[in-house]
């Protein structure tokens, strides 16, 4: 009996220990010094320079944004237009939804640790809210999948690159970091329904991380991406999903875009507007034979 209780006690202790280790995890920067400056001063200066070239154009209450996720020298000038719209505003929580580029898993993954870190400091994850979101859905998990380096050895950049911009324009805020791997309607709807159910009494901002067309010629990219912009301006997220799945248009984060729009619609935000579009060929170091498209957009009321 004593021996049995000893084994049970050890199991309980190990379970509690492993749970504590999991919940105390901190997600360290994976692409600082590559996608954006690893030095805090240089990073702040770069973002400030981008922001000075923008202006606020959305009049209304903003519930969601689309922002690109390439290296800052390419997509930063476009991303800044989204973040300029919320500069100085206050939100109870910010949900960043990003696509998984390097790891496949079912559904969506919310990082199970205490914080995400960037060169600008630590961002606290709202763990209680994260647990409520998981409980409200059937395809959502608390997991490191899509957040930390997996089998390919690369950490996901698409969520991380949004954070220094948010730290700059909002200051202190609580975060829900979500990576989605299966960008199909069933998962988009499940995540959107879960988010809407737990956010209905909160002032929340949802960021959808996505680039648009990849590696077409400059003129072709502009023509192709105009179709997606038209669908976004018409608030037609179902058509965005359909057209991306059939490859008529391209957006590596069409799932996050659709989740953001679907959730915002359920929360009463029913207007959408493209704020800025450009490509990697529009920056001084860019070349125009193969470009990537970038869009900033807002959903508001």
In 3D, which of 119, 71, 123, 67 has the Cα closest to residue 94?
123
Yes or no: say if 259 and 209 are a contact pair by the CB < 8 Å rule: no
Q: For 231-290, how does the pLDDT look when each residue is reduced to its tens digit (9 = 90+)?
A: 999 999 999 999 999 999 999 999 999 999 999 999 999 999 999 999 999 999 999 999
DSSP string, 34-51: TTB-SSHHHHHHHHHHHH
β-pairing, 108-110 vs 93-99, is unpaired
**Whole-structure pTM over 0.85, yes or no?**
yes
pLDDT at residue 19, rounded to an integer: 42
pLDDT surpasses 90 at 5: no
pLDDT surpasses 50 at 118: yes
Residue-averaged pLDDT of the chain: 92
**CA separation for the pair 116, 221 (Å, rounded):** 33
pLDDT surpasses 80 at 4: no
Yes or no: say if 95 and 204 are a contact pair by the CB < 8 Å rule: yes
**CA separation for the pair 128, 88 (Å, rounded):** 25
Q: Which residues of 61-75 are buried (b: 16+ CB within 10 A; e: fewer)?
A: ebbbbbbbbbbbbbb
User: Up-side HSE of residue 103: CA atoms within 13 Å toward CB?
Assistant: 24
pLDDT at residue 7, rounded to an integer: 56
pLDDT at residue 170, rounded to an integer: 97
Q: For 78-92, how does the pLDDT look when each residue is reduced to its tens digit (9 = 90+)?
A: 999 999 999 999 999
CA 217 to chain CA centroid, Å, is: 27
β-pairing, 62-67 vs 140-142, is unpaired
CATH class of the structural domain 28-300: alpha beta
Q: Which residue has the higher pLDDT, 150 or 130?
A: 130
Q: For 140-197, how does the pLDDT look when each residue is reduced to its tens digit (9 = 90+)?
A: 999 999 999 866 667 789 999 999 999 999 999 999 999 999 999 999 999 999 999 9
**CA separation for the pair 98, 100 (Å, rounded):** 7
Residues contacting 79, CB < 8 A, separation 6+: 50, 67, 68, 69, 72, 161, 162, 165, 294, 296
Q: CB-based burial of residue 105 (10 Å sphere; 0-12 exposed, 13-18 middle, 19+ buried)?
A: middle
Yes or no: say if 125 and 114 are a contact pair by the CB < 8 Å rule: yes
Q: CB-based burial of residue 261 (10 Å sphere; 0-12 exposed, 13-18 middle, 19+ buried)?
A: buried
pLDDT at residue 197, rounded to an integer: 98
CA 110, 100, 81, 190 dihedral sign is: negative
pLDDT at residue 158, rounded to an integer: 96
Where are the chain's structural domains?
28-300
In 3D, which of 200, 222, 204, 209 has the Cα closest to residue 277?
222
**What confidence category does residue 98 fall into, taking pLDDT thresholds of 50, 70 and 90?**
very high
**What confidence category does residue 16 fall into, taking pLDDT thresholds of 50, 70 and 90?**
very low
Specify the length of the chain in residues: 301
Residue tagged 């690159």 (tokens): 161
- Span 38-56, mean pLDDT? 98
């Amino acid at each position: 009996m004593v021996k049995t209780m000893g084994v049970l006690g050890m199991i309980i202790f190990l379970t509690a220990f492993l749970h504590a280790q999991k919940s105390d995890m901190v997600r360290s920067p994976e692409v600082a010094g590559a996608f954006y400056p690893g030095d805090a001063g240089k990073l702040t200066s770069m973002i400030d320079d981008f922001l000075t070239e923008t202006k606020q154009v959305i009049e209304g209450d903003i519930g969601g944004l689309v922002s690109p996720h390439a290296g800052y020298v390419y997509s930063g000038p476009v991303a800044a237009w989204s973040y300029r719209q919320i500069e100085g505003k206050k939100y109870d929580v910010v949900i960043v939804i990003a696509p998984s580029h390097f790891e496949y898993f079912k559904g969506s993954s919310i990082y199970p640790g205490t914080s995400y870190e960037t060169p600008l400091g630590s961002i606290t994850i709202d763990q209680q809210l994260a647990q409520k979101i998981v409980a409200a859905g059937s395809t959502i998990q608390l997991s490191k999948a899509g957040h930390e380096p997996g089998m390919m050895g690369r950490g996901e950049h698409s969520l991380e690159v949004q954070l220094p911009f948010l730290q700059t324009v909002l200051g202190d805020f609580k975060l829900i970091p979500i990576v989605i791997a299966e960008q199909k309607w069933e998962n988009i709807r499940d995540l959107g329904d879960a988010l809407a159910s737990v956010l209905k009494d909160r002032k929340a901002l949802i960021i959808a991380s996505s680039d648009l067309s990849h590696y077409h010629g400059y003129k072709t990219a502009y023509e192709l991406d105009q179709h997606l912009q038209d669908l976004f301006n018409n608030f037609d997220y179902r058509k965005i999903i359909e057209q991306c799945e059939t490859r008529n248009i391209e957006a590596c984060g069409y799932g996050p875009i659709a989740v953001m729009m679907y959730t915002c619609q359920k929360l009463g935000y029913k207007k959408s507007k493209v704020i800025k579009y450009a490509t990697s060929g529009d920056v001084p170091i860019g070349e125009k034979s193969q470009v990537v498209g970038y869009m900033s957009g807002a959903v508001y009321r």
